[in-house]
Amino acid sequence: MTSFNSMAQKCFWKFVFFLLLSIGLHVPASADTEPAIPPTAEAPAYILGTGDKVRISVFGEPKLDGEYVVSSTGVVSFPLIGNIPARGQTVEAMQEDIRSKLAAGYLKDPRVAAEVLNYRPFYILGEINKPGEYPFVNGITVQQAVAMAGGFSYRANTRRVFIKRALDTSERPIEIKSVAVALMPGDTIRVGERFF
């Protein structure tokens, strides 16, 4: 009789084990965990602005290759063709503009390459430990910018910041924990004060 009881007990415990195992497989893994942080928002195409330094190369024409700065009037002064509008354009658009002007009377089928060497800085101010101007690093997010500036002050609203893009006229609120927002050169981040 005891062997029957021990066999019944083993069967009972196996049944309980498999029952719990099957229940565990049907429970969502995220039931008690925080939601995953969404991936970094894609940064829009980079728009050139005053102070950006670009390298422009024309294949087979080393005398035209060089480093150029977007002037305060928003142009790049390029040999042979003069001032090229740059502010407000993408690097690709400026590159195509130079290519088409060189092809219009100076070079046959020119191949032009352009890249940004030095970006405009971004600014962070408000309730931050070290407000000021910081060098832009491609791919930097709002959270990383806050860390560069020494973190939030004790009075900071750590849930929301405000971003004003270089070409925008107004700032927009960003929920800092909702998405990793990519910064652009010339952006201004303002960290507000929290309300008790």
Question: What single string gives the DSSP state of each residue in 165-176?
Answer: -TT-SS-EEEET
- Region(s) of the chain under CATH 3.30.1950.10: 53-118
Question: What six digits make up the tokens of 126?
Answer: 């408000």
pLDDT tens readout for residues 75-126:
999 999 999 999 999 999 999 999 999 999 899 999 999 999 999 899 999 9
Does residue 68 have a pLDDT over 90? yes
Fold for domain 122-193? Outer membrane lipoprotein wza fold like (3.10.560)
CATH 3.10.560.10 domain residues, the chain: 122-193
Q: Are 150 and 130 in contact (CB under 8 A)?
A: yes
Q: What is the pLDDT of residue 72?
A: 92
Q: What residues contact 186, with CB distance under 8 A and at least 6 apart? A: 49, 120, 121, 122, 165, 166
Closest CA to 112 of 76, 144, 142, 152: 76
Whole-model pTM: value is 0.61
Task: Look over the chain and give the mean of its residue pLDDT values, rounded to a whole number.
Answer: 83
- CA dist 151 and 190 (Å) reads 13
Q: Please work out, in degrees rounded to the nearest 5, the angle formed at the alpha carbon of residue 174 by the alpha carbons of 170 and 178.
A: 160
Q: What is the phi/psi pair of residue 146, to 5°?
A: -60, -40
Q: What is the CATH number of domain 53-118?
A: 3.30.1950.10
Res 37: pLDDT: 31
Geometric angle at alpha carbon 171, from 165 and 173, rounded to 5°: 110
Top pLDDT among 65 and 33 is at 65
Return the H-helix or E-strand segment holding 191: strand 188-193
Facing residues of 78 across strands? 82
DSSP output for 11-22: HHHHHHHHHHHH
Bridge partner residues of 129 (DSSP): none
- The pLDDT assigned to 138 comes to 83
Helices (H), the chain: 2-26, 91-103, 142-148
